[in-house]
Amino acid sequence: MPSNSCPSVLLIYTGGTIGMIENPETGALENFNFDHLLKHVPELKRFNYRISSYQFNPPIDSSDMEPLYWAKLVKIINYNYNQFDGFVILHGTDTMAYTASALSFMLENLAKPVILTGSQLPIGVLRTDGKENLITAIEIAAARNDKGEPMVPEVCIFFENRLMRGNRTTKINAENFNAFRSFNYPALAHAGIHIKYEEHLIIRPDTSRPFKPHYLFDTNVVILSLFPGIREQTVSSILHVEGLKAVVLRTFGSGNAPQKEWFIRLLKEAAERGIIIVNITQCASGTVEMERYETGYHLLEAGVISGYDSTPESAVTKLMFLLGHGLSHTEIRKRMNMALAGEITPNIKKKR
């Protein structure tokens, strides 16, 4: 059981650059085992914490991440929920934002920190960013507020010096250590000499309800990104994929799309066939306002719903999650309009 005097953290290693080593023949980075990783962070022993670990065997490059692995992570967290104060998930950076988003929906009414982190350079490399990321993530997972409650009972990504709500993050850099951003929601904490928490921004659980893990996903979804010149046949083929149930439509600016007759017609027909179409912007920052321009208004009339200021990672995992629960079309549309885990800001004031 977690104790007040000695915080306990479960470290879950899924794979990713942080634990990789270079293949001497090809020079490519490959997954390596967890002991190797721990050997390079002797500082962990200096924590006055009980740190246990669980590793994926074999570890995976996060490009291979799948909903099945998300369910596995939820299973591990649920199984150990009462034994630990917090959880740190070591994960490849490439799909970390998808996993963080998915977990934020799957771990309903979470009352403990689940902090994902990784690195751009393997832990065995001299200039690695992995060590600091790991050490600070553990400290955050164990942190408590004045009332003795977990400081950040949310699924978060900690990277470089920022703690961000997981379902608000996007990987924005393939090279810099500062690889993640949360454009539409402020960081929950900044790590400098001290870790400075923004307590007013952190979601607290509803203490009248228990923590509830979920496992089901339906992957009959697609992300369709618009571009000038997109062909009717392309859009039509995508919207007619067998079994398709939902589309994340990445539009321009504040939710605008071509006004061509065929485009609006294809969307309208798809919506009438029961396909849920969610409008999010291709811009990294800002929100969809379909009422703002005529081009967006036509989408609204065609039955497209707003994804507000959602990231693509959050919109697609939320749809998979809701579809996985076999909810009705109306119910899914309703929940896409609500923040389930702080992933959207639905009630942004209209400009006109």
| 86-90 vs 8-13, strand pairing mode | parallel
Are 118 and 90 a contacting pair, CB within 8 Å?
Answer: yes
Q: Does 23 bind ligand ASP (CB under 6 A)?
A: no
Q: Does 133 bind ligand ASP (CB under 6 A)?
A: no
Measured between alpha carbons, how far is 282 from 95 in angstroms, rounded to an integer?
18
- Minimum CB separation from ligand ASP for residue 307, in Å? 25
Nearer to ligand ASP, 13 or 197 (CB): 13
Active site residue 17: yes
Residues 310-325, buried b or exposed e (16+ Cβ, 10 A)?
Answer: bbbbbbbbbbbbbbbe
Q: How far is the CB of 92 from ligand ASP (least distance, A)?
A: 2
- Both tokens of 3, joined, read 């104790």
Note every long-range contact of 149-152, with CB atoms under 8 Å and residues 24 or more positions apart, other chains counting: 149/204, 150/85, 150/86, 150/111, 150/112, 150/113, 151/113, 151/197, 151/199, 151/202, 152/113, 152/115, 152/188, 152/189, 152/197, 152/202
Binding mask 281-320 for ligand ASP (x = CB under 6 A): ----------------------------------------
Helices 67-80/96-106 angle, 10° precision: 50
Distance CA 174, CA 180 (A): 10
Decide whether 159 or 197 has the Cβ nearer to ligand ASP: 159
Tell me if 17 contacts ligand ASP by CB under 6 A.
yes
* Options 17, 99, 136, 170, the catalytic residue: 17
| Number of neighbours of residue 181 by Cβ within 10 angstroms | 20
Closest CB 136 distance from ligand ASP, rounded Å: 17
* CB nearer to ligand ASP: pick between 15 and 166: 15
Q: Which stretch binds ligand ASP (CB under 6 A): 9-17, 104-112, 141-149, 230-238?
A: 9-17
Q: Quick one: which segment of 33-41, 92-100, 145-153, 309-317 binds ligand ASP (CB under 6 A)?
A: 92-100
Identity (one letter) of the amino acid at 332?
A: I
Q: Nearest-5° angle of CA 159, CA 284, CA 248?
A: 105
Among the candidate windows 10-18, 133-141, 162-170, 317-325, which touches ligand ASP by CB under 6 A? Answer: 10-18
The secondary structure element, H or E, covering residue 53 is strand 50-55
169 binds ligand ASP (CB under 6 A): no
Q: With CB under 6 A, what is the number of residues at the site for ligand ASP? A: 11
* Member of 7, 67, 86, 92 binding ligand ASP (CB under 6 A): 92
184-203 positions binding ligand ASP, by CB under 6 A? none
Window 102 to 131, contacts with ligand ASP (CB under 6 A): 118, 120
Task: Tell me the closest approach of the beta carbon of residue 171 to ligand ASP, in angstroms.
Answer: 8
Nearer to ligand ASP, 69 or 185 (CB): 69
Task: Name which of residues 62 to 91 contact ligand ASP (CB under 6 A).
Answer: 62-63
Handedness of CA 280, 284, 288, 293 (dihedral sign): negative
Nearer to ligand ASP, 61 or 218 (CB): 61
**Can you tell me which of 94, 129, 139, 343 binds ligand ASP, judged by CB under 6 A?**
94
CA geometry: angle 310, 169, 82, nearest 5 deg: 105
79-107 per-residue burial string, b: 16 or more CB within 10 A, e: under 16:
ebbeebbbbbbbbbbbbbbbbbbbbbbbb
The answer to whether 83 and 299 are in contact (CB under 8 A) is no
Query: Which of 16/255 has CB closer to ligand ASP?
Result: 16
Q: Which is nearer to ligand ASP, 87 or 159 (CB)?
A: 159
Spatial separation of the C-alpha atoms in residues 136 and 22, rounded to whole Å: 25
Interface with ligand ASP (CB under 6 A): 15-17, 61-63, 92-94, 118, 120
- Which sequence positions are flagged as catalytic? 17
